[in-house]
Amino acid sequence: MRFLSKISLAVIFFTLVSCPVFAISADTVAADTVASSMKLITEVTAETKAMSSYFSPTKILISLIIMVLTYVFMRIVKVLLSVWAERTTKQRITIKGFIPIIRIVVWIGSLSFILVAVFRPPLASILAFSASVGVAIGFAAQDLVKNVFGGIIIITDKPFQIGDKIQIGEHYGEVIHIGLRSTRLTTADDSMVSVPNAEVMSKAVSNANSGEDNCQVVTEIFLPISADMQRIRQTAIEAAQVSRYIFLNKPINVLFLQEKIAHKVMIKVKVKAYVNDIRNEFAFKSEITEILTNEFLDYYKDDHSDKMEII
């Protein structure tokens, strides 16, 4: 009985498959699939033609001309602002701080004008293109994106600005450029260091002047433990006060610390004073070091030492 039941089920299955109604249904599904495919191809072809009209050679040429003019305009603005800033110490940092902001605003405005006024694509195409570009950039240029976002944060949050003296890792110098990709410093040796903005955002940044034209300078020398501290303090303060680089609106401090050098206890003298221009930092430090070295040579002669260790 079970065998006959299986045979009956098989017969019913083949009967249903061979039925003309089911054959007609299969033909209908195939026809609908072909029609849908042709409709999709037609829509894609029409969209491609529409997109090609947006990116015609004329529009591309106009866009290139606008970008070149924007670049030239920004170079002229940067030169004019830099020349204006260098004429005054008090306003130098403030004026140079506007350069990266103007650069961002001008370039965003220029690119927006090209997109809206020249190419004029529909909103749906803009959204689709933006999504595609975002995905491509996210996978192919992650470091670049980090640097760009870091540059935007630096410009808006302003932990430092052009003209400030900052320390990033082992690099210390004056900020001469804040771009979307990197921040550039000029060091004491007149070398230019370019630090990626992603690295700037991931490290602690020390700002010596925080937008002001003056900054504190710390000069350190070592003297024998037997030195007269009162005499040292008075000489150091007088040396700082008569310097042409001194900023007298802020205090001058002299600190004494003990430090062991080569199995010998020495006095570390720290002279903390402010210079009238951050660019005079190293000139002031050199001047104070020279004056104190010459003034206290007698201590080293008495201590049977022929030189002074200076940091």
Whether the per-residue pLDDT at 6 is higher than 50: the answer is no
Check residue 303 and give its pLDDT.
57
The β-bridge relationship of strands 171-178 and 182-187 is antiparallel
pLDDT tens digits along 223-274: 988 889 999 999 999 999 999 999 999 999 999 999 988 788 899 999 999 9
pLDDT tens figures, 172-189: 999 998 888 899 999 988
What is the maximum alpha-carbon separation in the chain? 126
pLDDT digits (tens, 9 = 90+) for 53-78: 666 788 888 888 999 999 999 889 88
The structure tokens listed for 237 are 């303060």
User: For the domain with range 215-302, which CATH number is right: 3.30.70.20, 3.30.420.40, 3.30.70.100, 1.10.10.10?
Assistant: 3.30.70.100
Structural domain boundaries in the chain: 215-302
Q: What's the average model confidence in pLDDT over 107-120?
A: 82
Q: Which two tokens stand for residue 136?
A: 């491509």
Which residue bears the tokens 């003309």? 20
Distance between CA atoms of residues 115 and 56, nearest Å:
13
Rg (CA), the chain: 37
CB atoms within 10 A of CB 98: 15
Q: Give every strand in the sheet of 165-168, ordered side by side.
A: 192-196, 182-187, 171-178, 165-168, 205-207
